[in-house]
Amino acid sequence: MYEKPSDDENYSPYITFNRNEWASLRDSIPLPLTQEELEALKGLNEKVSLDEVSEIYLPLSRLLNLYVATTQELHLAANTFLNSTTEKVPYIIGIAGSVAVGKSTSARILQALLSRWPNHPKVELVTTDGFLYPNRILEERGLMKRKGFPESYDIRRLIRFMADIKSGRPEVTVPTYSHLYYDILPEEVKVMEKPDIVIVEGINVLQMPNTRNQRKIPRVFVSDFFDFSIYVDALVEDIYKWYVERFQLLRDTAFQNPASYFHRYSQLTDEEAIETAKKIWLEINEVNLQQNILPTRERAHLILEKGANHSINKVKLRKL
């Protein structure tokens, strides 16, 4: 099934699979997505093929389906022991990784695949962008250029949301974030009603609190509520390249909208767009990646390693 690990891998907390080894774990599960459906799930400059779905995401959905089924059985066993009829609580999956690494696309593909399994058809996807402080608060605190850093999130609200999910509340509300306006939409919320699985996606989901920037540290962390966690990984130089490519595409599309927060970038020349994206990356996104995001990689249950062409070439699964 996979090659005998080297001496170094024997001391690693992970089992490492190359693409072919991981693909063999798909078993005989049919591919439920069409090319048209996949196109709707892709990010702006993502290159994901149906082959990648078959070889990477289908085996992962099979693994998660087995984990969810086992968790559901444990819940029934606990109810029997306690003579209880409490509602089952959702299985929670966290997905972390850098800006522009493709974690949102991974989350959407997983949501689509997991919802096809009969024992957990209701799969919700939540991004942590909705738990950023509103721009007015970030401006008051001088944090607009630190947006996406740990201190820019309302961690208490995010933890309260996670606790509500895990307590089995029949309805849980999720704040809405607009990438067009680059801000929270205070009048809009999403209501979740008894999902089977909740995927929580965001750069910050595996981060520990920064004691230098928070006066009061919560006793629990977002990741404490996860049943399973995934980190989407790639070389920093590749992520930087993808970020610049995405910025140029946004300049030609979303930034052209006069209502866009970034409309001021819509008239940049190619050279100006590259320089602007490079500056934002070096001053904000790479700093956040190196200081806060990348150090959390080994906290994940599974790591998806991407190559320069966006394709996932290695999967690392934490040993039980």
Q: Which residue has the higher pLDDT, 37 or 6?
A: 37
For the chain, give the percent of residues with pLDDT over 70. Answer: 93
For the chain, give the percent of residues with pLDDT over 90. Answer: 80
Mean pLDDT of 228-252: 98
Q: Which amino acid is at 157?
A: R
Q: Where are the domains of the chain?
A: 89-305
Structure tokens at 311: 């394709």
* H helices, E strands: number in the chain: 11, 9
State how far the Cα of 244 lies from the Cα of 108, in Å rounded to an integer: 22
**292, pLDDT greater than 70:** yes
* Phi-psi map region of 83: left, alpha, beta (phi>0 left; psi -120 to 50 alpha): left
**119, pLDDT greater than 90:** no
Q: Which residues contact 298 (CB under 8 A, 6 or more apart)?
A: 13
Stretch (H or E) spanning 229: strand 228-233
- The whole-number pLDDT of residue 250 equals 97
**208, pLDDT greater than 80:** no
**Confidence at 51, pLDDT banded by 50, 70, 90:** very high
**213, pLDDT greater than 60:** no
**Confidence at 210, pLDDT banded by 50, 70, 90:** low
Question: Which range (10-14, 67-71, 100-104, 251-255) has the least confidence?
Answer: 10-14
152-193 residue pLDDT tens: 999 999 999 999 999 889 899 999 999 999 999 998 999 999
- The whole-number pLDDT of residue 211 equals 46
State how far the Cα of 319 lies from the Cα of 143, in Å rounded to an integer: 39
Mean pLDDT of 55-70: 96
**Confidence at 1, pLDDT banded by 50, 70, 90:** very low
State how far the Cα of 100 lies from the Cα of 247, in Å rounded to an integer: 10
- Topology of domain 89-305 in CATH is Rossmann fold (3.40.50)
- The whole-number pLDDT of residue 5 equals 53
Mean pLDDT of 216-226: 79
State how far the Cα of 214 lies from the Cα of 150, in Å rounded to an integer: 9
- The whole-number pLDDT of residue 143 equals 96
**146, pLDDT greater than 80:** yes
**225, pLDDT greater than 60:** yes
Q: What is the mean pLDDT of the chain?
A: 92
Mean pLDDT of 244-259: 97
**Confidence at 47, pLDDT banded by 50, 70, 90:** confident
